[in-house]
Structure 1
């Protein structure tokens, strides 16, 4: 009933920089390649509710947008998030974890979801799409955070 994907990247930068840049949701359009805008709707402590809007789809020009909520824990260096507006999903839960490793900081994403039965694709197809896209986004994030780390030193 649920599918889970997991991917990770090691970013050659200090933990505080990786944590701060990747948790600055308002700045995600300059960190991720897929987001046109990120609007913060509400903040309460370490929890934020926000709307993400993607760039138009290359194939059909469709613009996808949804509201998510995420809670960061700077002590454990973890983040838990879920979609409020689920779009094609019955549910979408996301877990981010950061840990220092040789060569920098490992940032790991786990996505647990189930695609609505009425969709023209299934969980396996969505998992394949998410893994492919996560690799692209993680590479962009790695490049941009590492560039900021060099500029900071």
Structure 2
């Protein structure tokens, strides 16, 4: 059985700001609390291949992997997958952005399967991702909304 998560949050900010801030992979260490670094390896049209590294975990291990994202600004969607899968057999992520009355609804869908030798099984990773996604989405919401207020105050 594979793992699957589906999480969303509404950000009270203009679509263009939400889109640009959340798709600036090089700036993800400032946007997400879990990433220590984001290294752009290649850009090709609407796709970017990059290496993400987490802050050391409780054992001092630094987890790192390469992913590829393809953005579609017209449909306000992003599809991504891990190129270096690490403990995952595969990991696919879809980001969707939709204008709502209260702001921009940002949705992340993660479809994955853990390798048999991984430290967590699919159910445990689903729980971990759901908990962490809520934390990261709340943080992103706070940062993007603060940037929107700052931008509005300058006008």
Q: Answer yes or no: same fold by TM over 0.5.
A: yes
Deviations 1:50-85 (A, max 9, x none): 00011111x211111100000000000000000000
Give the alignment of 1:8-87 within 5 angstroms: 8-57=8-57, 59-87=58-86
Query: Secondary structure at the residue paired with 2:6?
Result: strand
For the 8 Å contact 2:3–2:122, the answer to whether it is kept is yes
Give the alignment of 1:93-108 within 5 angstroms: 93-108=92-107
Gaps of 5+ in 2: none
Deviations 1:68-104 (A, max 9, x none): 0000000000000000000110000000000011210
Deviation at 1:125, TM superposition (A): 0.4
Query: Secondary structure at the residue paired with 2:49?
Result: strand
Deviation at 1:118, TM superposition (A): 1.5
TM-score calculated relative to the size of structure 2: 0.96
TM-score calculated relative to the size of structure 1: 0.98
Q: Which residue pairs with 2:148 in the alignment?
A: 149
For the 8 Å contact 2:4–2:109, the answer to whether it is kept is yes
| Distance of 1:119 and 1:104 partners within structure 2 | 38
Aligned residues between the structures: 152
| Distance of 1:12 and 1:42 partners within structure 2 | 32
Query: Secondary structure at the residue paired with 1:146?
Result: helix
Q: Which residue pairs with 1:5 in the alignment?
A: 5
Runs of 4+ with >2 A deviation: none
Deviation at 1:3, TM superposition (A): 1.8
